Chains A and B, each alone.
Chain A
Amino acid sequence: MLCQVCGKNDATVEFTEIVNDEVKQLQLCDACAKKKGIEMEQHFSIADFLAGLSEPDAKGPGGGPVLKCGNCGMTFNDFQKIGRFGCADCYTAFRENLLPLLKRIHGSTRHTGKAKKSESSDLRHTLQLKLKLAIDREEFEEAAKLRDLIRDLENKPGEKK
C-alpha cells in the first residue's frame, strides 16, 4: 500500500490520530511518519509507546506474581498505562523489563554522566556489597553486570568524582 500522505513511497507505519473525538487511521511511509511525528509530538504519550513495547501482565521472575514495587505499590501494568514511575524504587522492581525500554529510548542503558556526590565516593563499595549479595542469592546474571560496572569504574579512575 502506498503512503496516504505523499502517495509515493510504500506505507510502513500505521498512524492513529484522534482529532475532535474522531479516530483517523493513516498508512504512512517512514518520511511522512517522521514529519507527522514532529507535528504530533505533544499528543503522543509515552504510555502508548510503552504499551506497544512490553508484554502486558509482566510476571515476576519464573512466572511469579505480577511485578509490583514493594515501596510504592505501583505494578508494572500501572507503569505501562501511565508511562511514569511511582517512586525511585520502581526502577529496581521493574529493572529487567526496563532495560530494553531504556535502550529503545536512549540507545543506552548505562549512565556515564555526573555521579551523585555521596554515592561516587563509596560507589565501588556499594557495588561490591551488591555483588556479594547477588552471588549469595545465586543471581549470576545480575552479578555479572555488577562485576562489569565495578570493572568500568576501576578502569576509569579519572571519572571518579
Chain B
Amino acid sequence: MTLGDLWTGTGEWLKGSGPNSDIVMSSRIRLARNLKKYPFPHWADAEQLEAVISDFKSAYGRIDFFRDALFLRMGELDSLEKQMLIERHLVSREHALRPEHKAVLISDREVISIMVNEEDHLRVQVLQSGFNLQDTWKLAGRIDGELEQFLDFAYSPEVGYLTCCPTNIGTGLRASCMVHLPALVMTKQAGRIIQAIGKLGMTTRGLFGEGTESYGNFFQISNQVTLGNSEEEMVDNLGRIIRQIIEQENAARSAIYANQRLLLEDRITRSLEELKSAKLISTEEALNFLSTIRLGADLGIIKGVDRDMLNGLFIRIQPAHLQKKEGKQLSAEERDAVRAEFISEKFNLKDQS
C-alpha cells in the first residue's frame, strides 16, 4: 500500500455495515505495549527511540499479516498529511504534534494501525465498522501474540503489561464504540445516560477522542479501568453497556417516530435542503445536518442515501481532507465554501440518480 492508496481509499470502519451499524458506527480496541529494554518514549533519548523503531520494523517485517501495510515516519509527512491521519483516526493529535522519532504502521483498509513512540512504545489499534467488539478484540489479541514472538514486552506477573501511565497498566486495553445517538440528544436524555455510564467506570468522549467535543451526536464510549479484570471481561462489560444504549436510542427513535413524526420529517427534510443549497458551511454545522440525515435514512424517511456515503462524508469534509482534495492550503472561509460545494454536489447527484 502507498500513501496515495491510503488517501483514495476508505477505512473499513466507515463502510457502515456490521451488526447494529445504524447506531454503532465502529468498534475499536487499543492495546498499550512497551519494549522491556528501552525507557518509555518521554524518558528515552533519540538513539533509544530510533532503536525502538528499528526493533519494531524488523518485528513487523516478519509478520505475514503486515505484508501490505504502510509504514510512515511522522517526521517525513507534511502538516496536511499528519492532519489527515488524525481525521482518519489513525494517529492521535499528540502523535502528529510532536512527530520526531515517531512512526505509524497502517494495515490494508485501515483496520490495524500501530503508533510507535507515542505515550507507550507501541499503541496497537484495531478499528472495525459496526458493533463488533468481540471480533475486534480477537484480532487485536492475535496481533499482540504475533508481535510478542519477536518483541520482549515489559510485563510483570503481578500487574500485567507495564505502561508509561499507571492508568493503562494491566491489560493495557481500551475498548470503545463510536455511537450515533441523535434521538437521545433530541429527547434530552443523552446527558443523563453519559452520567450513568460514568458511574459504571466508562468514559465518554467526542468524535475525535480525548478532549474533543461531541459533534453530530457522535459519542465515543470506552472502559476506564485496565487492571483487575481479564480482557474478555472488559470487552464484555463495555458490550453490555453499549447494548443498553442501543436499546435506549431505539426506544427514543420509536417514540419520536410515533409521536412527533411531522417534527422529525421537518427537521430531516430541512437538513437535506440546507446541505443541498448551502454556499458556506463549517465542519460542525455540516456534521450536525449529516447526523440528522443519517437518522432520516435509518428510519426510512429519506430514501436512496446510503450509510457508507454519509459515513465517508463525515471524514471527507474535515479540513485536511478538503485541502488535500483541492491540492492546496485553504483559509477557513475558503474551506467552508469548498465544503458546501462538495456536499451539495453529493446530494444533488443523489436526486438525479
Contacts and interface: CB of A to CB of B under 8 A. Distances in A.
Nearest to B234: A113
Interface residue tally on B, bucketed by range: 35 or more
Interface in B56-94: none
Interface in B138-189: 141, 144-145, 148-149, 152-167, 169-171, 173
A82 B119 CA distance: 12
A146 B159 CA distance: 13
A51 interface: no
A6 to B, nearest CB: 14
A91 B156 contact: yes
Contact of A98 (B160, B164, B166): B166
Contact of B231 (A35, A74, A98, A114): A114
Interface string A77-106: 000001111111001100000100110011
B136 to A, nearest CB: 15
Nearest to A31: B195
B210 interface: yes
B43 A74 contact: yes
Contacts of A107: 225, 228
Nearest to A71: B39
Interface string B217-257: 00000000111111100100000000000000000000000
A34 B38 CA distance: 38
A25 interface: no
A86 B42 CA distance: 8
A38 B194 contact: yes
Kindly name the residue among A38, A92, A115 whose own CB sees the greatest number of chain B CB atoms within 10 A: A38
Interface in A26-54: 34-35, 37-38, 41-42, 46
A46 B42 CA distance: 15
A117 interface: yes
A111 B170 contact: yes
A6 B152 CA distance: 52
Contact of A38 (B149, B165, B198): B198
Kindly name the residue among B38, B39, B171, B195 whose own CB sees the greatest number of chain A CB atoms within 10 A: B39
Interface residues of A, number: 42
Kindly name the residue among B119, B161, B227 whose own CB sees the greatest number of chain A CB atoms within 10 A: B227
B226 A106 contact: yes
B36 interface: yes
Contacts of B154: 87-88
Contact of A123 (B42, B157, B171): B157
A113 to B, nearest CB: 4
Contacts of B163: 85
Contacts of A84: 40, 42-43, 119, 164-165
A134 interface: no
A88 B34 contact: yes
Contacts of A145: 158
B204 interface: yes
Kindly name the residue among A82, A84, A110 whose own CB sees the greatest number of chain B CB atoms within 10 A: A84
Contacts of A123: 157
A106 B225 contact: yes
Interface in B1-56: 34, 36, 38-40, 42-43
B228 A112 contact: yes
B198 A34 contact: yes
B211 interface: yes
B198 A85 contact: no
A126 interface: yes
Contact of A113 (B38, B160, B162, B167): B160
Given A85-B163, A111-B169, A117-B148, 11 more contacts: A85-B43, A85-B166, A87-B38, A91-B159, A102-B159, A102-B166, A105-B166, A109-B227, A111-B159, A114-B230, A117-B149
29 contacts: A34-B195, A37-B198, A41-B211, A42-B210, A42-B211, A84-B164, A85-B40, A85-B43, A86-B40, A88-B162, A91-B159, A98-B166, A101-B166, A102-B159, A107-B228, A109-B158, A109-B228, A110-B159, A110-B227, A111-B160, A111-B227, A111-B228, A112-B229, A113-B229, A116-B153, A118-B148, A119-B155, A119-B157, A123-B157
Which 10 pairs of residues, A with B, have the shortest CB-CB distance?
A108-B228, A111-B160, A42-B211, A88-B154, A106-B227, A86-B43, A113-B171, A116-B155, A87-B39, A113-B230
